[in-house]
Amino acid sequence: MVKTNFVNVLVNALGLVSLVVLMQKCEAAQFTVGGSKGWSVPSDNSPVFNQWAEKMRFQIGDSLLFKYQASSDSVLQVTKQDFDNCNTHSPIAKFNDGNTEFKLKKSGPYYFISGNKDNCNKNEKLVVIVMANRTTKNSPPSPSTNAPSPGPTTSDQQPPVTSPPSDDGSTSAPSAESNPPKNGATSYIMMSVLGSLGAFMGSSLFLAF
């Protein structure tokens, strides 16, 4: 009986850990640049890559996958000026492995061009805009919309806020309202879950033996 309880606890613990890992992986996405055609010269020399990027929502942690012929092409990360001019001589980073995964680590624009200048001039180039992370730990709480507004006054001091008089003419002190709880970061939630899991497993093992 004790062995059966231990096995059940272990199976449940492993299932919970797998769920947490799966949730963490689902936060990031991988985008294949150019789809099935990959990183190549557009057939009509149109800005197909930028048109594709405008339909996407890129976030910090996502990645771009460039697939191309390593023998004849490459990927350069460049500045905006070099992007506009198809300057391939001073890239920020260069990739030529044919299967390049580029991690988007910060918000803002990223500029990519082909390492082949002629290809770049034929619109084998891409601009990706990564959205800013709006979840901040130090953001102040928003003011409560249910709080009563103070009445008009002619002096510099604001009078204390009181609730409206009741039917018998008496007034009661307003009740204090607590600020809404802040949303914790994802990492904090995961640490809490794993901490609780560890405590649960420890106590279960102790009881099992």
Tens digit of pLDDT for each residue in 2-43?
555 554 555 455 554 444 444 444 578 999 999 989 999 999
The two tokens of residue 207 are 């009881």
**Predicted confidence band at 173 (pLDDT cuts at 50, 70, 90)?**
very low
The closest of 122, 26, 129 to 80, measured between CA atoms, is 129
pLDDT greater than 50 at residue 174: no
Question: What pLDDT score does 133 carry?
Answer: 75
The runs of H, that is alpha helices, within 104-185 are: 117-121
pLDDT greater than 80 at residue 47: yes
| DSSP label at residue 62 | -
Domains and CATH numbers, the chain: 28-130 (2.60.40.420)
Helix (H) / strand (E) element for 112: namely: strand 108-114
Longest dimension (CA), the chain: 90
Helix (H) / strand (E) element for 186: namely: helix 186-208
Q: How confident is the model over 71-105, as pLDDT tens digits?
A: 999 999 999 999 999 999 999 999 999 999 999 99
Using CA atoms, how far residue 161 sits from 68, 84, 168, in Å, is 68, 60, 19
d(CA 22, CA 152): 56
pLDDT greater than 70 at residue 209: no
Query: What is the separation, in whole angstroms, between the first and last Cα of the chain?
Result: 11
Question: What pLDDT score does 15 carry?
Answer: 52
How many C-beta atoms lie closer than 10 Å to residue 136's C-beta? 10
For the ranges 42-46, 181-185, 191-195, the one whose mean pLDDT is highest: 42-46
Q: How confident is the model over 110-138, as pLDDT tens digits?
A: 999 999 999 999 999 999 999 987 654 44
